Amino acid sequence: MRRLDVALGVRSYPIRIGPGLLGRPELFEPVLPGRHALLLSDSQVAPLYAERVLTALPARLQVRVHTIPAGEQHKTLASAESCFAALAELRASRDACVIALGGGVIGDLGGFVAACWMRGIRFLQLPTTLLAMVDSSVGGKTAVDLPQGKNLVGAFHQPSAVIADTDTLATLPPRELRAGLAEVVKYGAIFDAAFLDWLEANAQALLDGEAEVLSGAIERSCRFKAEVVARDETEQGERALLNLGHTFGHAIETEQGYGGLLHGEAVAVGMVLAARLSARLGLAPAADAERLVGLLARLGLPTRIPAGLDPAKLLAHMRLDKKNLSGRLRLILWRGAGQALIVPDVDEAAVLGLLRD
């Protein structure tokens, strides 16, 4: 088992990564002190793993399993409302816990529900996608989507623990695994050129799902994220760097009605756009941008905007991004391998030109 922690004073919490963790009661007992728990999952994950978790939970807990349909289209206020109703039926008090078993959709939704129920109860992240293991389960960003934009309603609310059972990746569809790799590449692009070299060297092993290589990538990614979150929990500064490619990516997801590219795929396209825009603006070497595009393509990720999307509409979605301040387009751009930067007032004409090209 790989161990690391997110250091946030009294709200610090463990991240545990390894095979077989969902079946280990000793990992659950210390982080579930109350009497009630809502085990939240989706229609694809619950039949695979809910029983395993139920068996490992403390016997004193009264648990209600609540399942929502799988997919980003269900990361909504309506799903949150169904969770609140389930918590009410459970008569969950302030010492209750939400256990989020699934990918980033379930983690974001479960965390949001936990942040709101009685103004905040505990929650546990049990990520079952690569994307959730390397990114969304760590750091306490919780949210639901609106038709007008992604993650527009949410809260910062840290989990009590992240337990990533890497055995669950065995059932993950290959396309979902590749989507998770986009977020892994993101850390290299932002923080560490040597990690990008490592990813290039291990691309095939990652695609093949080789356990040791994947676990290594998950641990490295969680370390990058845990360090940034410990320094800037509520994104007053450097945490925004973790959004490299996301403003473009979220615009694509929103314009497609959350039913087109997967989130990780949209982030891959977004990173390509951010890198190429940075090269055009003279911030990053064009060769670095093309190397990043090559790595993403090698990992089986899309590198172009899906056909038929209107650049002007994408730009309109980008204007509603949470990072913008005072109506100015604030983007995470790139200086080249291993270095990102925040640019507070990006020229919209340059962005539109890139989207059109």
Residues that bind ligand NAD in the complex, under the rule CB under 6 A: 42, 44-45, 48, 70-72, 75, 102-106, 108, 128-129, 131-132, 135-136, 139, 141, 150-151, 168, 171-172, 176, 179, 262-264
Catalytic residue among 24, 35, 239, 328: 239
313 is catalytic: no
The residue written with tokens 């939970």 in the block is: 57
Q: How far is the CB of 135 from ligand NAD (least distance, A)?
A: 4
Report what 176 binds from ligand NAD, ligand GLY, none; CB cut-off 5-8 Å by kind: ligand NAD
Q: How far is the CB of 225 from ligand GLY (least distance, A)?
A: 7
CA distance 153 to 76: 9
Report what 243 binds from ligand GLY, ligand NAD, none; CB cut-off 5-8 Å by kind: ligand GLY
Q: Which CB atom, from 141 or from 150, has the smaller least distance to ligand GLY?
A: 141
3-state class percentages of the chain: helix first, strand second, coil last, to nearest 5: 50, 20, 30
Neighbouring residues of 2: CB distance < 8 A, sequence distance ≥ 6: 16, 17, 18, 215, 218, 219
Q: Which CB atom, from 197 or from 232, has the smaller least distance to ligand GLY?
A: 232
150 is catalytic: no
Report what 265 binds from ligand GLY, ligand NAD, none; CB cut-off 5-8 Å by kind: none
Neighbouring residues of 236: CB distance < 8 A, sequence distance ≥ 6: none
Q: Which CB atom, from 104 or from 336, has the smaller least distance to ligand NAD?
A: 104
Q: How far is the CB of 128 from ligand GLY (least distance, A)?
A: 18
Report what 108 binds from ligand NAD, ligand GLY, none; CB cut-off 5-8 Å by kind: ligand NAD
250 is catalytic: yes
CA distance 223 to 319: 31
Phi and psi at residue 64, to the nearest 5°: -115, 130
Instruction: Please write down the long-range contacts of 288-295, taking CB distance under 8 Å and 24 or more positions apart.
Output: 288/334, 288/336, 288/337, 289/334, 291/196, 291/337, 292/185, 292/189, 292/196, 292/337, 295/185, 295/196, 295/199, 295/200, 295/203
Residues that bind ligand GLY (CB under 6 A): 135, 139, 141, 239, 242-243
Q: How many angstroms separate the Cα of 12 from the Cα of each of 150, 162, 191? A: 28, 11, 23
Catalytic residues, which ones? 119, 141, 183, 225, 235, 239, 243, 246, 250, 263
